[in-house]
Structure 1
Amino acid sequence: MPEAATGLDPRRWKALAFIATAQLMVVLDATIVNIALPSAQADLNISDGNRQWVITAYALAFGGLLLFGGRIADLWGRKRAFITGLVGFAGASTLGGAAANEAMMLGARALQGAFGALLAPAALSLLAVMFTDGKERAKAFGIYGAIAGGGGAVGLILGGVLTEYMNWRWTFFVNIPFAAAAAVGAMLVISEPADARNRSALDIPGVVLSTLGLVSLVYGFTRAESEGWSEGGTVAMFIAAAVLLIAFVLTEAKVKAPLLPLRVVTDRNRGGAYLSLGLAIIAMFGLFLFLTYYLQIVKDYSPVKTGVAFLPMIVGMITGSTQIGARLMTRVPPRLLMVPGFVLASGGMLTLTQLEVDSSYPALILPALLMLGLGMGTAFMPAMSLATHGVRPSDAGVASAMVNTSQQVGGAIGTALLNTIAASATTSYIADHAAQATTRPAQQMLKLESMVQGYTSAIWWAVGILLLSAAIAGVLVNARAQSGSAGAGAKDGEPSDAAGEAEPALVAMH
């Protein structure tokens, strides 16, 4: 039997470095362009009405094509899909950095999203099929989980540095060395098991229905943020999404070789992982959005200083993922990491509900970010591992795509829902206190106070959403500790916790 298939090939640890590099590139790209958007908008003469499409074009292509990208990885082979995704993403980034007008920029962002939808599930499914030993899987997913959770904050830092000291175009060009290093490394060291391919015919009706359904859903939430929840186009998008996704599920239940075998999502542990992750991302996107605004507008931080302010959360995520999650995943059931992790993160979010205009960063924001990072890192790592645990190797790509889909849809919901809540609370606060602001300084203070009131109102909702994530993990997730074999090749329908009983000792970290 080939070494790669037995889990004994030492090259897979080198492969992990390149997979992690690619994942970091995709995750940070979701936030790095946000920082550069004002400069790019001015240079390319993009109207205020169209600037949202720089973000939306990426989100729609990425979210809509994820399931298709995951199944392509199953069909082609993850290594080939991974390298193709990297090359395409680098090409699209080059196009974006060289953009001479609005159309060129929007086209580049859509291409980035499309190739990202191929790259992201290929990266995660490579981990799923290459690391099948429970202890080694814990280490690999610990690293991956830290990057997936903290990459957005890294994007804020890198975006600020590049925009402030170089040029907004470098927020695109910076992807090229990431992609080149990961692609060359993948060609040299990645070796996936030979029996992990899915050679079934592609489910074309499933591709069309899932892509149109997910695009309608993501665009519905994006439109709700700018146009309102009751606006005709928004309602139409949600109705279309519901019809298309219901039709997709009915189709998948009948076709011989479905795009998304329903066994992947009906397993209670994987379903619980997808749902709890998606909800947690709703809360996380709210945090990035409101805390970025708070630090830059209320506290007058520069883009670079704002990014650096998020560093404690990254440190917390890395610690929670690699030093808590990875060490305990083979010893305790996943829910005993996910539930406390989400509860701790909700405690950090609860601390941020106390924000005021003059709040101290060291006394209030710093401890809140540490709690959030530690909690999220501890919860994300076993959740991501569980989401692909026990799945058939031939379904690893589409199971991984479901992780990314839950995150992408969660991000769209979080941005739209929490921003709407914040805007409503801000408007209400101004209406209640406007009569008292009779001088210019008082009016300026009222503006800042109303913004903070809006942020904290939305953050209260984020607290509740994180507690709901914890409750879902506690109720649905009943897998045992993931020690021994990770169940690659397990037959769906068998318990996905078939990895066996817990190891008596902690995993030794290298």
Structure 2
Amino acid sequence: MGKPSLILVVVAIAQFMVSLDMSVVNVALPAIRSGLGFDPAGLQWVVDAYALLLGGLLLLGGRAGDLYGRRRLFVLGFALFGLASLAGGLAQSPGQLVTARAVQGLAAAALTPSALAMLTTTFTEGRARARALGVWGAVAGTGGAVGVMAGGLLTEYAGWRWVMLINVPVVVGALALTAVTVPADSPGPHRGRLDLLGAVLGTCGLGLLVFGVVRTHDHPWTSAETLGTLAVAAVLLAGFILVEARIAKAPLFRLGLLANRTVAGANLFVFLLFAGQFAAFYFVSLYMQGVLRMSPAATGAAFLPFSAGLICGTVIATRAARRLTLRALLVPGGLLAAAGFGWFSLISPTGSFVVHVLGPSLVTSIGLGMCLAPLAGAATAGAPPHEAGMASGLINSARQIGGCIGLAVLTTVAGRRTGSSTDPTALTHGYALSLGISGILLAIAVAVALTVLPKGRPGPPVGTGTRPEELTVPATAR
């Protein structure tokens, strides 16, 4: 196995671990509550602390890797993730566990964009690049499903602490492999100071956006707390855009990347896709445990076919990537995923695993797998090499924020349909409605592919300047 292949292995481990830890604690939450004495309001922060720091810091992590070295940030993120996982597994109080999860999110925000940037700069063209992005797409998609499965099995047979401790040996092995495979960072001509004002505005704005959204399970969307938080987030993000467009000499995010229709369309597609997928994982898991009365271990194992379908879809997309355009891959993949979510919306209080979970899982996962790898390539194809981390941070931010917003909105929708009832019939109606909306989100993503994405293949990188007016848009993106 050559060095590029080993780099792919390291990057895949990193992305898989970050994706897995988004969902691995979900099934373990009841055991964590009884083990550490969480109150009902505080328990959700075991999930939200990770999502908040990861979603708020991804752009900063991507740009820091461009400026100060992707390998350096990658190693730092990996090491910090391992230490935080160890601390979480040994936590003796709710505050200690929530803090450990927040540090995991911080580490993941450094690790994830650096990993994708290293991948796109190592594999630059042809079949090798398509295969590498296919692997990245598969692990990014299956990590969440495997996280649910691993969380159930570990909680039932080893104890909830192992949903955190399992990361430690993985991190140690990955760091050892990184040391001998990933080349040291070269100085390069584009090093400079980090845009601190943009970093503060962007990080605080995204962080408050995620914070406001994830708190809607405690504070309704129309409450003063939620509206106030989202209003402040909007002001900060508007200031961030102004700084990046007019003031910063070395922007944290160059707005001109979005002048490329491929980059803009791919990020919007990712946002919609993960808004539907994150919510679907949540509601299908609740349906299996609360309605079909499956155990945590059985619920986790039930996500294995979903992972297999994602891999199959990714293989299909990888093999077809050299012959088909981006649009030609995303449209059938998105339609297949939308159909699968529509099938999920037919769940019944007296349903069966085979008809109402297994069947739609396979259809949805194959469709999603056909989309993930092409999207990763498209979202980074419009960036010059020295801004690969910036583009990687953008697509990962779209993924994370889309997932958080989609889950919060659809949880509210399901709650309004269900009310305070715990009757399986009422619960199923709420879950079914939200799963149907997930399908609508994928249908909208298909419309984005048809109207925003160019008909041909992605054009060359868009500009290298710091101002939108300095950009030259390639002909394929007009």
Is residue 132–residue 487 contact of structure 1 (8 Å, CA) maintained in 2? Answer: no
Q: For 1:208, give the aligned amino acid.
A: V
> Any idea what the Cα deviations from partners look like across 1:452-477, whole Å, max 9, x if unmatched?
00011111211111100111111111
Mapped contact 1:129–1:488 kept (Cα < 8 A): no
The number of equivalent residue pairs is 471
**Structure 1, unaligned runs of 5 or more:** 1-8, 431-443, 500-510
Structure 2 CA distance for aligned equivalents of residues 173 and 87 of structure 1: 14
Distance apart, 1:362 and its partner CA: 1.7
Q: Secondary structure at the match of 2:419?
A: helix
Q: Which one of 449, 462, 469 corresponds to residue 425 of structure 2?
A: 449
Q: How does 1:120-135 map to 2 (within 5 A)?
A: 120-135=112-127
Q: Which moved more, 1:112-121 or 1:42-51?
A: 42-51
2:325 and 2:312 mapped to 1: Cα distance?
19
Post-superposition offset of 1:44: 1.4
Task: Summarize the alignment of residues 328-339 of structure 1 with structure 2, pairs less than 5 Å apart.
Answer: 328-339=320-331
Matched with 2:468 is none
Q: Establish whether residue 467 from structure 1 lines up as the match of residue 475 from structure 2.
A: no
Q: CA shift at 1:488, angstroms?
A: 7.1
1:58–1:111: 8 Å Cα contact kept in structure 2?
yes
Contact between 2:133 and 2:377, CA under 8 Å: does it hold in 1? yes
Q: Name the structure 1 match of 2:78.
A: 86
Task: For residue 477 of structure 1, give the secondary structure of its aligned residue in structure 2.
Answer: coil
Q: Give the corresponding residue for 1:54.
A: 46
Q: Which residue of 2 aligns with 1:434?
A: none
Deviation at 1:360, TM superposition (A): 2.2
Query: Please, which of 11, 34, 53 is the counterpart of residue 26 of structure 2?
Result: 34
| Gap change, CA 1:480 and 1:136, over 3 Å in 2 | farther
State percent identity of aligned pairs: 37
1:292/1:172 CA distance change after superposition, 3 Å: same
The AA in structure 1 aligned to 2:405 is I
Q: Distance in 1 between matches of 2:103 and 2:69?
A: 21
Residues 208-249 of structure 1: CA deviation (Å, up to 9, x unaligned):
000110011001111123221111110011101111111100
The CA distance in 2 between the partners of 1:289 and 1:196, in whole Å, is: 44
CA positional deviation for 1:72: 1.0
- Runs of 4+ in structure 1 displaced over 3 angstroms? 192-198, 479-482, 486-499
What displacement does 1:273 show? 0.6
SS of alignment partner, residue 390 of structure 2: helix
Cα pair 2:462 2:472 within 8 Å, conserved? no
Structure 2 Cα separation of the partners of residues 197 and 61 of structure 1: 30
Where does residue 96 of structure 2 map in the other structure?
104
Q: 1:193 to 1:272 in 2, by over 3 A?
A: farther
The secondary structure found in structure 1 opposite 2:381 is: coil
Q: 1:357 to 1:384 in 2, by over 3 A?
A: same
Secondary structure at the aligned position of 2:25 is classed as helix
Residues 295-444 of structure 1: matches in 2 within 5 Å?
A: 295-321=288-314, 323-427=315-419
Q: Secondary structure at the match of 2:204?
A: helix
Cα distance change on mapping 1:196 and 1:355 into 2, 3 Å: farther
SS in 2 for 1:356: coil
Q: Which residue of 2 aligns with 1:211?
A: 203
Residues 180, 494 of structure 1: alpha-carbon distance in 2 compared, 3 angstrom cutoff: farther
Give the 3-state SS of the residue equivalent to 1:259 in structure 2.
coil
Q: Output the amino acid matched with 1:357.
A: P
Q: What code does the residue aligned with 1:189 have?
A: T
Q: Deviations over 1:31-67 (max 9, x none)?
A: 0111222212222112112111111111111111111
2:242 is matched with 250
Q: Is 2:277 the counterpart of 1:284?
A: yes
> After superposition, what is the alpha-carbon deviation per residue over 1:311-365, rounded to whole angstroms, capped at 9, x for unaligned?
12111110111x2111111211101101111110000011111111112222332
Q: Which residue of 2 aligns with 1:478?
A: 454
Which among 165, 178, 186 is matched to residue 178 of structure 2? 186
Measured after TM superposition, the shift of residue 198 of structure 1 is 3.5
Q: Is the 8 A contact 2:256 2:463 kept in 1?
A: no
**8 Å contact 2:263–2:382 — kept in the other structure?**
no
**Partners of 1:95 and 1:293 in 2: CA distance:** 29
Q: Residue 198 of structure 1 contacts residue 395 of structure 1 at CA under 8 Å; is this kept in 2?
A: no
Does the aligned pair in 2 maintain the 1:390–1:497 contact within 8 Å?
A: no
52-61 or 208-217: bigger deviation: 52-61
Match of 2:434 in 1: 458
Q: 1:479 to 1:130 in 2, by over 3 A?
A: farther
Q: CA deviation at 1:189?
A: 0.8
Give, in whole Å, the separation in 2 of the partners of 1:496 and 1:181.
43
Q: TM-score, length-normalised on structure 2?
A: 0.94
- Answer yes or no: is 1:174 the counterpart of 2:166: yes
Q: Residue in 2 aligned with 1:439?
A: none
Q: Give the match for residue 267 of structure 2.
A: 274
User: Given that residues 333 and 478 in structure 1 are in contact (C-alpha distance below 8 angstroms), is that contact kept between their aligned partners in structure 2?
Assistant: no
> Deviation at 1:122?
0.6
Q: 1:66 aligns with which of 42, 58, 69?
A: 58
CA contact (8 A) 2:257 2:382 kept: no
Of 222, 225, 228, 1:233 maps to: 225
Which SS does the other structure have where 1:388 is aligned? Answer: helix
- The RMSD of aligned alpha carbons is 2.0
Query: 1:158-169 maps to which residues of 2 (within 5 A)?
Result: 158-169=150-161
Q: 1:115-153 CA deviation, whole Å, 9 max, x = no partner?
A: 110001111111111110121110000011011011101
Output the CA distance in 2 between the equivalents of 1:152 and 1:420: 22
Q: Is the 8 A contact 1:153 1:311 kept in 2?
A: yes
Partners of 1:104 and 1:163 lie apart in 2 by: 19
Between structure 1 and structure 2, the one with the greater Rg is 1
